[in-house]
Amino acid sequence: MAIIGGGVIAMEFSHVFASAGVDLTVIEMGDRLLANEDLDSSKSIGEISKELGIEVLLNSKVKKVTKGENGKTVEVETPEGNKTIQVDEVLLAAGRVPNVGGLELEQIGVKVEKTGIQVNEYLQTTVEHIYAGGDGIGGYMLTPVASYEGRIAAKNAIENNIEKVDYSLVTRTTFTHPPVASIGLTEQEAIEKGMEINSNRLDFADVGPAVVLGETRGFVKLISDKKSKHLIGAHIVGPRAEELIHEIAIAMKGKLTITDLSEIISIHPSISEAVIGTAISADKGYQESCCG
């Protein structure tokens, strides 16, 4: 199989198929997989994908796909030159766009752009009494985010714009093997914003319970403001990442500092030790593999 794209959908399906023994190639136009994630997460999932036997072609572009009697031929332009791949199936996973064309919203004055229905910070469309949320307005296009937007849109429609939408604490996970989870700013985004930050990472290979479970791939990475010590982002690749990220989301919502998080006494043995261990490493200046 050939999978066109290197984003969330492409990587989730590639890991599912690879785990089932499918010989496959991922073709991505950009210079890394999961381009919206932190650079360390992208690198880690790229290495793990190769360990699973997935061939990854970066900076590559599909020029042509033809169907023959014995499958499909994919012609790819790569940095090393043109390449031809023979496969049984091709999965196009290069992203999604809102499917709102058939609603004819423009006829009633609701402005629609390529990215979806145009809304303001109250999820109000260009028609004053019409609000919108969910995949139709683009953005994160995640089920929990759609539910959140629905609540905000309904509240503002009924109570006349009393709450602005806030995406600063959106948790997100790519369900690869192991999963990739994140919240807040990536290290690169923080640097681009001119922020002075501390970035600390603890590998699961240094976390006892992860070793016992045989789940040593990946890491926990915490990003904090250098002066205030407030958490501004977190990135996890590894076992139960989709669960661990909620601990950090609660800490960020409560405006806890990296010191506050480091003072929590974690259960031993537990995978959560990785989160607290990373905070201790960040706050105390030495690597803490477990327990505090």
- Give dist(CA 34, CA 235) in Å, integer: 13
Query: Which residue ranges in the chain fall short of pLDDT 50?
Result: 292
List the beta bridge partners of residue 2: 25, 90
Give me the pLDDT at residue 101, please.
87
- Give dist(CA 113, CA 104) in Å, integer: 13
Site of tokens 């950009």? 30
197-206: pLDDT as tens digits: 999 999 999 9
Whole-angstrom CA distances from 77 to 53, 81, 83 are: 21, 6, 6
Q: Which residues are catalytic?
A: 268
Give me the pLDDT at residue 239, please.
96
Instruction: Determine if the pTM surpasses 0.75.
Output: yes
Give me the pLDDT at residue 206, please.
92
Nearest one of 200, 176, 175 to 187, comparing CA atoms = 200
Domains of the chain: 2-92 (3.50.50.60), 101-159 (no CATH), 175-284 (3.30.390.30)
58-74: pLDDT as tens digits: 999 999 999 999 899 99
> What proportions of the chain, in percent to the nearest 5, are helix, strand and coil?
35, 25, 40
Please give the single-letter amino acid code of residue 1: M
Give me the pLDDT at residue 292, please.
43
Whole-angstrom CA distances from 209 to 50, 80, 188, 238, 245 are: 25, 42, 30, 12, 18
Omega into 269 within 30° of 0, i.e. cis?
yes
Token pair in block for residue 235: 């990135």
Span between the terminal Cα atoms of the chain, in Å: 46
- Give dist(CA 201, CA 234) in Å, integer: 10
249-284: pLDDT as tens digits: 999 999 999 999 999 998 999 999 999 999 998 888
Is 24:17 a contact under the CB 8 Å cutoff?
Answer: yes
